[in-house]
């Protein structure tokens, strides 16, 4: 009895510590184990393919007319937001950061008029409150993507700051951050050095504007292409703010986190490109860095997981994408976090074999904390 008591104490202590850490391997007496959630990110553009629209079948999907009737707003109704939250809570593939588009004009109107009681602002509040309460530890970033050489996104940050400080009445109603998808640098990456330095100056103004928020800290996120630090096949350094390094590392210095568009769906290209873009540097600074993979239609076919049976590079389905994510550690990028581009591009549409829907029917319950 005495020996049994010691064993039981050890077992209960181990189980308790496991609960505290979020990892429990046993389920004594029918108690459900708490498992660690994944920490994926996902782009949520304004519209996505909607199989619920009559006539929007796989043939229409493969046509990929993103301006057509099969592409509907992804978060303007509760049903669509529930679809989004269920996708974020997919067991074993959970998402804890989303970059959400279509927050420009509604927040701008509130800034210009001082009116926080409009229906547009009510929808924004619903998005934020639901996301923060239905998806554990979710960070929601307002996404801007003007993509001009002057980095006009820097002039839009004030709308999120104003909304958070004036319109939001609780932490759950506030944006956690602002995300920028400005790809204009691709056109000047090997060009005039003064123009490139000015681009970095303008990027820094995004952070300056974000830091003006009074209620809490507005995080900043930026998306980079893996090759921006290279010119003519070689690393290209530039001196900015007294520091000489390639532009990708300057961008890592500027922002709280970045995602890298690797533009490939197999190894070793993915891990090699992450290294080129500053993976080791971000890890040394303890800054989040995401590996962004495409699921929308793109060319050439090997840059995206979009369905294409004719592509010489195989693996154009959800299982293949998740297998790539699971291979981060074995390929030397275990510190990176996966980022899916994008919700209802093909991911979670359920319109094509190999890409199931993760909707609000109860098939994607919240698992873990």
Where are the chain's structural domains? 1-34, 37-341
Residue partners of 286: CB distance under 8 A and separation at least 6: none
Q: Is 227 within 8 Å of 216 (Cβ atoms)?
A: no
∠ Cα 51 55 57 (to 5°): 50
Which residues are CB-neighbours of 109 under 8 A, at least 6 positions away? Answer: 115, 118, 120
pLDDT of 110 reads: 98
Instruction: Specify the long-range contacts of residues 124-128, CB closer than 8 Å, at least 24 apart.
Output: 124/163, 125/167, 125/168, 125/173, 126/78, 126/81, 127/75, 127/81, 127/100, 128/168, 128/172, 128/173, 128/174, 128/175
- At residue 360, the pLDDT reads 74
Residue 230 pLDDT: 96
Q: How many residues does the chain have?
A: 369
Q: Is 37:369 a contact under the CB 8 Å cutoff?
A: yes
Cβ 359 vs Cβ 86: under 8 Å:
yes
d(CA 133, CA 143): 20
Cα 19 to Cα 14: distance, rounded to the nearest angstrom: 9
Q: What's the pLDDT score for residue 4?
A: 37
pTM of the model: 0.89
Identify the segments of the chain with pLDDT beneath 70. Answer: 1-34, 361-369
The DSSP letter of residue 170 is S
Cα–Cα dist 155/136, whole Å: 31
Angstrom distance (rounded) from CA 335 to CA 328: 8
Q: Largest Cα–Cα distance in the chain?
A: 81
Q: What is the pLDDT of residue 33?
A: 52
Q: So what's the pLDDT on residue 361?
A: 64
Q: Which fold has domain 37-341?
A: TIM Barrel (3.20.20)
pLDDT score at 34: 65
Q: Residues 146, 176, 318, 326: is their CA dihedral positive or negative?
A: positive
- What counts of helices (H) and strands (E) characterise the chain? 11, 14
């Amino acid at each position: 009895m005495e020996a049994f008591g010691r064993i039981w104490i050890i077992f209960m202590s181990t189980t308790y510590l496991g609960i505290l850490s979020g990892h429990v391997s046993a389920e004594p007496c029918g108690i459900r184990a708490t498992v660690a959630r994944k920490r994926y990110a996902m782009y949520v553009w304004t519209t996505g393919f909607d199989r619920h629209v009559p006539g929007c079948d796989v043939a229409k999907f493969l046509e990929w007319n993103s301006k057509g009737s099969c592409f509907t707003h992804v978060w303007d109704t509760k049903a669509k937001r529930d679809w989004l939250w269920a996708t974020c809570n997919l067991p074993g593939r959970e998402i804890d950061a989303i970059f959400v588009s279509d927050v420009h004009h509604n927040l701008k109107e509130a800034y210009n008029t001082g009116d926080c009681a409009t229906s547009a602002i009510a929808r924004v509040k619903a998005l934020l409150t639901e996301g923060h309460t239905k998806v554990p530890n979710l960070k929601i970033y307002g996404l801007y993507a003007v993509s001009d050489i002057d980095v006009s996104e820097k002039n839009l940050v004030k709308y999120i700051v104003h909304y958070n400080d004036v319109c939001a009445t609780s932490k759950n109603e506030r944006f956690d951050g602002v995300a920028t998808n400005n790809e204009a640098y691709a056109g000047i990456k090997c060009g005039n050095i003064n123009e490139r330095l000015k681009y970095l100056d303008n990027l820094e103004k995004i952070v300056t504007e974000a830091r003006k928020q009074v209620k809490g800290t507005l995080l900043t996120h930026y998306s980079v292409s893996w090759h921006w630090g290279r010119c003519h096949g070689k690393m290209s350094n530039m001196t900015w703010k007294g520091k000489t390094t390639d532009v990708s590392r300057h961008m890592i210095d500027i922002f709280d986190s970045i995602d890298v568009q690797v533009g490939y769906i197999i190894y070793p290209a993915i891990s090699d490109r992450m290294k080129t873009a500053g993976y080791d540097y971000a890890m040394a600074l303890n800054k989040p860095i995401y590996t962004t993979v495409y699921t929308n239609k793109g060319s050439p076919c090997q840059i995206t997981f979009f369905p294409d049976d004719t592509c010489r590079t195989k693996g154009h389905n959800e299982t293949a994408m998740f297998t790539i994510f699971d291979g981060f550690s074995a390929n030397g990028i275990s510190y990176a976090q996966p980022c899916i581009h994008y919700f209802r591009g093909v991911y979670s549409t359920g319109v094509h074999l190999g890409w199931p829907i993760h909707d609000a029917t109860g098939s994607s319950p919240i698992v873990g904390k």
